[in-house]
Structures are given as structure tokens and as C-alpha cells.
Amino acid sequence: MKKIFFSFIIFILLQNHLNASNKDNVLEKLSKTQNISFDFIQTINGKDEKGKCIIQYPKKIFCQYEKRNNKILVSNGTSLVIKNNEQYYRYPIKSTPFHFLLDKNFLINKIKSSSLDEVENKYLFFQINENNSNINIFFSRENYDLIGWQIEDIYQNLAVTYIFNTSINKIVDEKLFKLPTND
């Protein structure tokens, strides 16, 4: 009976150590990241869109979608613009989930004060519930890279973004984050 009890205690301690180690590794990787470039697949209401993005911390993003309507998503750190051939939308970034998602210091503090959970022994994730924004952020268990997120978009649609072909800390042209005009 004592062997079973001690085995159980050792298992619990090892599990806690592994979870802390994963958390430390994600925090270390994120803290060293100044920007990240990637390809993405975004699914909203069963429809997939593909493209390329660059995130530059804090709160800047440029995404160019592959479809023929020339859709882009741009944040300069204070505003977020979604533009295509037919439509132009501008929002204060504070009113979108990107306010949290693109703020590395916010993410680091949230990870420090929460737990990372595992999915299928392949992915690590944590949840953010702030100001009516529900965000799940996913990291690779293998190399601790950011691999995607799940948010409710500004229209209350569930948007799942999977990122791949990532490059970290490349030279980025700041002009990318200049907001497009409505013309």
C-alpha cells in the first residue's frame, strides 16, 4: 500500500514539474519574440480563408488574405482596419480581442498567473476571459511556438486561426502597419 501511495505522490510531483516546465518554456519563447511571421488558415462559420501575417509586438499586425477580393487586416497599435475591394471597417483595437492577443506583456502576465492545459498531448493552451473577450491561445508542446488561437470575432462568430511556417524576429518594414485609407 505504501508503494502505491508513494508512486502516486511521485507521479503528481512529476506532473506538476512538467506543467511548470512547459509554462516556463512558453514564457521564455514568448518573451524573446519581438515579431512573428506566418501563414495561416482561419475558419469562421465553416468557411476557410488563407493568407500570411506578421505580428509585431506590441499590438501591430498585418495580414493579407489569398482570395481575389484583396482583403487585408492591419493594426497600427491603436486601430484595426479590415479592408477588401468592397468594404472598409475601422475599429479601436481596444474593442477587439486583438487588444489582448497582440499584447505580449499582457499574455506573459496572464500565462504566469494561470495554468497551461494540454490537448491530445500535442498542444498547450490557456484561456483569457477579459472584457467580454474569450480567447484560447495554443502553443506547440514540441517547440513552444505559438500555433494559433480561437476568438469570438467582432460579429460574435467563432474564429479559429491555425498558424504555420513561422519565422521569429525577422526584419520587418514598419510601413506594413500603416493603416490603409478608405478609397
Give per-residue pLDDT as tens, 3-44. 343 333 333 333 433 445 899 999 999 999 999 999 999 999
Q: Could you count the other beta carbons within 10 Å of the beta carbon of residue 155?
A: 8
DSSP reduced 3-state for 26: helix
- The pLDDT, as a whole number, for residue 11 is 38
Q: Which of 84, 57, 62, 94 is nearest to 175 (CA)?
A: 62
- Cell of residue 137, nine digits: 491561445
Opening angle at CA 118, ends 116 and 121, nearest 5: 145
pTM of the model: 0.84
Question: What mean pLDDT value characterizes the chain?
Answer: 86
Which residue type is seen at 43?
Answer: T
HEC letters along 134-177: EEEEEEECCCCCEEEEEEECCCCCEEEEEEEEEEECCCCCHHHH
Delimit the domains of the chain by residue range. 2-177
CATH 3.30.2350.10 fits 2-177, yes or no: no
- Cell numbers for 74, please give them: 492591419
Q: Which residues contact 18 (CB under 8 A, 6 or more apart)?
A: none
> Which of 67-71, 104-108, 146-150 has the lowest average pLDDT?
67-71
- pLDDT classification of 83: cutoffs 50, 70, 90: very high
Question: Rounded to 5 degrees, what are φ and ψ at 167?
Answer: -130, 135
